Amino acid sequence: MYSSINGVIAIGMTFVILTANIDISVGSILALSGMVGPYLLSIGMHSGIAILATLITGIFLGAINGFVVTRLRVNSLIATLGTMAIFRGVSLIISKAKVIYTPPGTFFDFIGAGRVLGIIPTAFIIMVISYLFGYFILKNTIYGWNIYSVGGNPSACELLGIDVNKVIFLAFILSGFSSALGSAVFMSMLGSWVPKVGLTTALDVITATILGGISVFGGRGKIVGVIFGVLIIATIGNGLTILNVVSYWQNVAKGSLLILAIYLNQIEFKQK
Protein backbone atom coordinates (compact mmCIF):
# COMPACT_ATOMS: atom_id res chain seq x y z
CA MET A 1 0.00 0.00 0.00
CA TYR A 2 2.76 2.45 0.92
CA SER A 3 4.40 1.81 -2.45
CA SER A 4 1.39 3.58 -3.98
CA ILE A 5 2.49 6.78 -2.25
CA ASN A 6 6.02 6.59 -3.62
CA GLY A 7 4.54 5.61 -6.96
CA VAL A 8 2.46 8.77 -7.15
CA ILE A 9 5.32 11.04 -6.08
CA ALA A 10 7.69 9.33 -8.55
CA ILE A 11 5.52 10.59 -11.43
CA GLY A 12 6.32 14.21 -10.64
CA MET A 13 9.96 13.29 -10.05
CA THR A 14 10.04 11.71 -13.52
CA PHE A 15 9.08 15.02 -15.14
CA VAL A 16 11.76 16.90 -13.19
CA ILE A 17 14.57 14.42 -13.90
CA LEU A 18 13.64 14.27 -17.58
CA THR A 19 14.48 18.00 -17.72
CA ALA A 20 17.94 17.17 -16.26
CA ASN A 21 17.02 18.58 -12.84
CA ILE A 22 16.33 17.03 -9.43
CA ASP A 23 13.87 17.66 -6.60
CA ILE A 24 15.05 16.41 -3.23
CA SER A 25 12.43 18.45 -1.37
CA VAL A 26 9.57 16.01 -2.14
CA GLY A 27 9.63 14.54 1.37
CA SER A 28 9.34 18.00 2.91
CA ILE A 29 6.56 18.96 0.48
CA LEU A 30 4.79 15.77 1.55
CA ALA A 31 5.22 16.83 5.18
CA LEU A 32 4.09 20.45 4.78
CA SER A 33 1.20 19.87 2.36
CA GLY A 34 0.24 16.73 4.27
CA MET A 35 -0.15 18.76 7.44
CA VAL A 36 -2.77 21.01 5.83
CA GLY A 37 -5.51 18.41 5.41
CA PRO A 38 -5.45 16.97 8.94
CA TYR A 39 -5.17 20.47 10.41
CA LEU A 40 -8.22 21.77 8.52
CA LEU A 41 -10.19 18.66 9.40
CA SER A 42 -9.25 19.05 13.07
CA ILE A 43 -10.81 22.54 13.13
CA GLY A 44 -14.02 21.35 11.47
CA MET A 45 -13.46 22.10 7.77
CA HIS A 46 -15.14 19.95 5.10
CA SER A 47 -12.99 17.06 3.85
CA GLY A 48 -13.30 18.25 0.24
CA ILE A 49 -11.83 21.63 1.17
CA ALA A 50 -9.08 19.90 3.16
CA ILE A 51 -8.07 17.76 0.17
CA LEU A 52 -8.19 20.73 -2.22
CA ALA A 53 -6.10 22.85 0.15
CA THR A 54 -3.55 20.03 0.40
CA LEU A 55 -3.16 19.87 -3.38
CA ILE A 56 -2.98 23.66 -3.77
CA THR A 57 -0.26 23.78 -1.11
CA GLY A 58 1.76 21.22 -3.05
CA ILE A 59 1.38 23.21 -6.26
CA PHE A 60 2.47 26.39 -4.48
CA LEU A 61 5.54 24.73 -2.97
CA GLY A 62 6.44 23.24 -6.35
CA ALA A 63 6.12 26.71 -7.86
CA ILE A 64 8.57 28.04 -5.28
CA ASN A 65 11.09 25.39 -6.34
CA GLY A 66 10.49 26.21 -9.98
CA PHE A 67 10.94 29.94 -9.37
CA VAL A 68 14.23 29.48 -7.52
CA VAL A 69 15.59 27.19 -10.26
CA THR A 70 14.38 29.08 -13.35
CA ARG A 71 14.33 32.72 -12.23
CA LEU A 72 17.02 32.88 -9.58
CA ARG A 73 19.17 30.46 -11.61
CA VAL A 74 20.06 28.30 -8.61
CA ASN A 75 21.15 24.73 -9.34
CA SER A 76 18.17 22.44 -8.71
CA LEU A 77 20.10 20.23 -6.28
CA ILE A 78 21.11 23.22 -4.12
CA ALA A 79 17.74 24.93 -4.54
CA THR A 80 15.68 21.96 -3.41
CA LEU A 81 18.17 21.16 -0.64
CA GLY A 82 17.42 24.63 0.71
CA THR A 83 13.66 24.39 0.27
CA MET A 84 13.72 20.92 1.78
CA ALA A 85 14.97 22.46 5.03
CA ILE A 86 12.60 25.44 4.77
CA PHE A 87 9.45 23.41 4.09
CA ARG A 88 10.27 20.92 6.85
CA GLY A 89 10.98 23.74 9.29
CA VAL A 90 7.73 25.55 8.46
CA SER A 91 5.70 22.37 8.98
CA LEU A 92 7.29 21.86 12.40
CA ILE A 93 6.81 25.52 13.37
CA ILE A 94 3.12 25.56 12.44
CA SER A 95 2.36 22.19 14.05
CA LYS A 96 4.68 22.85 17.00
CA ALA A 97 6.12 19.41 16.20
CA LYS A 98 2.96 17.73 17.52
CA VAL A 99 0.90 14.96 15.98
CA ILE A 100 -2.31 16.16 14.28
CA TYR A 101 -5.09 13.58 14.22
CA THR A 102 -7.76 13.44 11.51
CA PRO A 103 -11.38 13.04 12.67
CA PRO A 104 -12.79 9.64 11.64
CA GLY A 105 -15.78 9.21 9.36
CA THR A 106 -14.87 11.75 6.67
CA PHE A 107 -14.27 11.30 2.93
CA PHE A 108 -10.60 11.99 3.68
CA ASP A 109 -10.43 8.48 5.16
CA PHE A 110 -11.44 6.99 1.82
CA ILE A 111 -8.53 8.57 -0.11
CA GLY A 112 -5.91 6.23 1.30
CA ALA A 113 -7.70 3.67 3.43
CA GLY A 114 -10.84 2.99 1.37
CA ARG A 115 -11.58 0.24 -1.14
CA VAL A 116 -13.61 0.42 -4.33
CA LEU A 117 -16.22 -2.37 -4.52
CA GLY A 118 -14.74 -3.55 -1.23
CA ILE A 119 -11.78 -5.07 -3.10
CA ILE A 120 -9.49 -2.58 -4.87
CA PRO A 121 -7.58 -0.17 -2.61
CA THR A 122 -8.29 3.46 -3.42
CA ALA A 123 -4.59 4.27 -3.12
CA PHE A 124 -3.80 1.80 -5.90
CA ILE A 125 -6.46 3.31 -8.17
CA ILE A 126 -5.10 6.81 -7.56
CA MET A 127 -1.62 5.60 -8.49
CA VAL A 128 -2.83 3.93 -11.69
CA ILE A 129 -4.81 7.00 -12.78
CA SER A 130 -1.78 9.19 -12.03
CA TYR A 131 0.47 7.03 -14.19
CA LEU A 132 -2.02 7.03 -17.04
CA PHE A 133 -2.16 10.82 -16.78
CA GLY A 134 1.63 11.11 -16.78
CA TYR A 135 1.96 8.66 -19.67
CA PHE A 136 -0.60 10.61 -21.71
CA ILE A 137 1.21 13.92 -21.16
CA LEU A 138 4.63 12.57 -22.08
CA LYS A 139 3.41 10.52 -25.02
CA ASN A 140 0.68 12.63 -26.62
CA THR A 141 1.21 16.31 -25.85
CA ILE A 142 3.53 19.06 -27.04
CA TYR A 143 4.56 19.66 -23.45
CA GLY A 144 5.66 16.03 -23.17
CA TRP A 145 7.78 16.42 -26.29
CA ASN A 146 9.23 19.62 -24.87
CA ILE A 147 10.13 17.83 -21.63
CA TYR A 148 12.32 15.35 -23.48
CA SER A 149 13.74 18.05 -25.73
CA VAL A 150 14.71 20.35 -22.88
CA GLY A 151 16.36 17.49 -21.02
CA GLY A 152 18.23 16.41 -24.12
CA ASN A 153 19.42 19.75 -25.48
CA PRO A 154 18.16 22.96 -23.84
CA SER A 155 20.29 25.20 -26.07
CA ALA A 156 18.72 23.78 -29.22
CA CYS A 157 15.26 24.21 -27.66
CA GLU A 158 15.91 27.91 -27.12
CA LEU A 159 16.89 28.26 -30.79
CA LEU A 160 13.61 26.56 -31.73
CA GLY A 161 11.67 29.07 -29.64
CA ILE A 162 10.77 26.71 -26.79
CA ASP A 163 10.45 28.45 -23.43
CA VAL A 164 12.88 26.25 -21.50
CA ASN A 165 12.24 27.97 -18.16
CA LYS A 166 8.49 27.47 -18.52
CA VAL A 167 8.93 23.75 -19.24
CA ILE A 168 11.14 23.30 -16.16
CA PHE A 169 8.89 25.48 -13.99
CA LEU A 170 5.83 23.37 -14.85
CA ALA A 171 7.80 20.18 -14.15
CA PHE A 172 8.47 21.37 -10.59
CA ILE A 173 4.80 22.28 -10.19
CA LEU A 174 3.85 18.74 -11.25
CA SER A 175 6.36 17.40 -8.74
CA GLY A 176 4.79 19.50 -5.99
CA PHE A 177 1.30 18.39 -6.99
CA SER A 178 2.21 14.71 -7.04
CA SER A 179 3.91 15.04 -3.64
CA ALA A 180 0.76 16.67 -2.24
CA LEU A 181 -1.43 13.96 -3.74
CA GLY A 182 0.84 11.34 -2.22
CA SER A 183 0.63 13.14 1.12
CA ALA A 184 -3.19 13.09 1.04
CA VAL A 185 -3.09 9.33 0.51
CA PHE A 186 -0.46 8.88 3.22
CA MET A 187 -2.24 10.96 5.86
CA SER A 188 -5.47 9.13 5.10
CA MET A 189 -3.73 5.82 5.73
CA LEU A 190 -2.17 7.01 8.98
CA GLY A 191 -5.23 8.86 10.20
CA SER A 192 -2.89 11.58 11.41
CA TRP A 193 0.08 13.79 10.59
CA VAL A 194 3.36 13.11 12.37
CA PRO A 195 6.43 15.41 12.46
CA LYS A 196 8.90 12.91 10.97
CA VAL A 197 6.78 11.92 7.98
CA GLY A 198 8.57 11.78 4.62
CA LEU A 199 12.16 11.77 5.87
CA THR A 200 13.27 9.05 3.42
CA THR A 201 10.78 9.83 0.64
CA ALA A 202 13.29 11.59 -1.61
CA LEU A 203 15.72 8.67 -1.37
CA ASP A 204 13.03 6.12 -2.22
CA VAL A 205 11.48 8.11 -5.05
CA ILE A 206 14.70 9.22 -6.75
CA THR A 207 16.10 5.69 -6.55
CA ALA A 208 12.90 4.21 -7.99
CA THR A 209 12.82 6.75 -10.81
CA ILE A 210 16.42 6.12 -11.89
CA LEU A 211 16.04 2.35 -11.49
CA GLY A 212 13.02 2.68 -13.76
CA GLY A 213 15.25 3.85 -16.58
CA ILE A 214 14.88 7.64 -16.38
CA SER A 215 18.28 9.11 -17.27
CA VAL A 216 19.79 11.30 -14.58
CA PHE A 217 21.21 13.39 -17.46
CA GLY A 218 17.69 14.13 -18.71
CA GLY A 219 15.86 13.59 -21.98
CA ARG A 220 15.62 9.79 -21.89
CA GLY A 221 13.41 7.21 -20.25
CA LYS A 222 9.79 6.10 -20.12
CA ILE A 223 7.35 6.52 -17.27
CA VAL A 224 6.26 2.87 -17.59
CA GLY A 225 9.68 1.81 -16.31
CA VAL A 226 9.25 3.93 -13.19
CA ILE A 227 6.46 1.60 -12.04
CA PHE A 228 8.94 -1.28 -11.96
CA GLY A 229 11.45 0.90 -10.12
CA VAL A 230 8.86 1.61 -7.43
CA LEU A 231 8.04 -2.10 -7.17
CA ILE A 232 11.73 -2.98 -6.82
CA ILE A 233 12.16 -0.52 -3.95
CA ALA A 234 8.97 -1.79 -2.29
CA THR A 235 10.09 -5.42 -2.67
CA ILE A 236 13.50 -4.71 -1.17
CA GLY A 237 11.93 -2.82 1.73
CA ASN A 238 9.36 -5.54 2.41
CA GLY A 239 11.98 -8.27 2.09
CA LEU A 240 14.33 -6.62 4.56
CA THR A 241 11.44 -6.02 6.96
CA ILE A 242 10.43 -9.70 6.80
CA LEU A 243 14.06 -10.59 7.56
CA ASN A 244 13.85 -8.28 10.61
CA VAL A 245 16.55 -5.97 9.24
CA VAL A 246 16.44 -2.66 11.14
CA SER A 247 15.48 0.49 9.22
CA TYR A 248 19.02 1.90 9.42
CA TRP A 249 20.37 -0.95 7.32
CA GLN A 250 17.44 -0.58 4.94
CA ASN A 251 18.59 2.98 4.28
CA VAL A 252 22.12 1.69 3.68
CA ALA A 253 20.75 -0.78 1.12
CA LYS A 254 18.63 1.86 -0.65
CA GLY A 255 21.48 4.37 -0.70
CA SER A 256 23.83 1.77 -2.18
CA LEU A 257 21.21 0.89 -4.76
CA LEU A 258 20.89 4.57 -5.74
CA ILE A 259 24.65 4.88 -6.25
CA LEU A 260 24.67 1.70 -8.33
CA ALA A 261 21.73 2.91 -10.43
CA ILE A 262 23.43 6.24 -11.16
CA TYR A 263 26.70 4.48 -11.99
CA LEU A 264 24.96 2.22 -14.50
CA ASN A 265 23.12 5.26 -15.82
CA GLN A 266 26.44 6.98 -16.46
CA ILE A 267 27.83 3.97 -18.31
CA GLU A 268 24.75 3.83 -20.52
CA PHE A 269 25.00 7.58 -21.20
CA LYS A 270 28.67 7.32 -22.27
CA GLN A 271 27.88 4.45 -24.62
CA LYS A 272 25.28 6.50 -26.52
User: Each residue of 113-165: pLDDT tens digit?
Assistant: 778 877 888 989 999 999 999 999 999 999 999 999 999 999 999 988 999 99
222-230 mean pLDDT: 91
Strands (DSSP E) found in the chain: 100-101, 115-116, 120-121, 192-193
Could you tell me which of 238, 235, 229, 240 has the C-alpha nearest to residue 264? 229
Give the global pTM.
Answer: 0.93
In-domain check, residue 155: yes
Query: In terms of C-beta distances under 8 Å and separation of at least 24 residues, what long-range contacts does 220-224 make, across chains too?
Result: 220/18, 220/148, 220/151, 220/152, 221/14, 221/17, 221/18, 222/138, 223/11, 223/14, 223/131, 223/134, 223/135, 223/138, 224/131, 224/135
pLDDT tens readout for residues 17-33: 999 999 999 999 999 99
**Residue 253 DSSP code:** H
In-domain check, residue 27: yes
Residue 271 in this model has a pLDDT that exceeds 70: no
User: From the centroid of its chain, how far is CA 109?
Assistant: 21
Share of the chain above pLDDT 70, in %: 97
* CA–CA separation, 233 and 257 (whole Å): 9
239-255 mean pLDDT: 81
* CA–CA separation, 38 and 184 (whole Å): 9
Burial group, residue 271, by CB count within 10 angstroms (0-12, 13-18, 19+): exposed
Instruction: Give the pLDDT score at 233.
Output: 87
Instruction: Give the pLDDT score at 246.
Output: 77
* CA–CA separation, 220 and 204 (whole Å): 20
* CA–CA separation, 132 and 138 (whole Å): 10
* CA–CA separation, 3 and 9 (whole Å): 10
In-domain check, residue 85: yes
Q: Is the dihedral of CA 100, 88, 3, 178 positive or negative?
A: positive
Instruction: Give the pLDDT score at 241.
Output: 81
In-domain check, residue 34: yes
Into how many domains does the chain fold? 1
Q: Which domain, by its residues, includes 30?
A: 2-198
In-domain check, residue 16: yes
In-domain check, residue 208: no
In-domain check, residue 153: yes
In-domain check, residue 23: yes
Mean pLDDT of the chain: 90
Residue 272 in this model has a pLDDT that exceeds 90: no
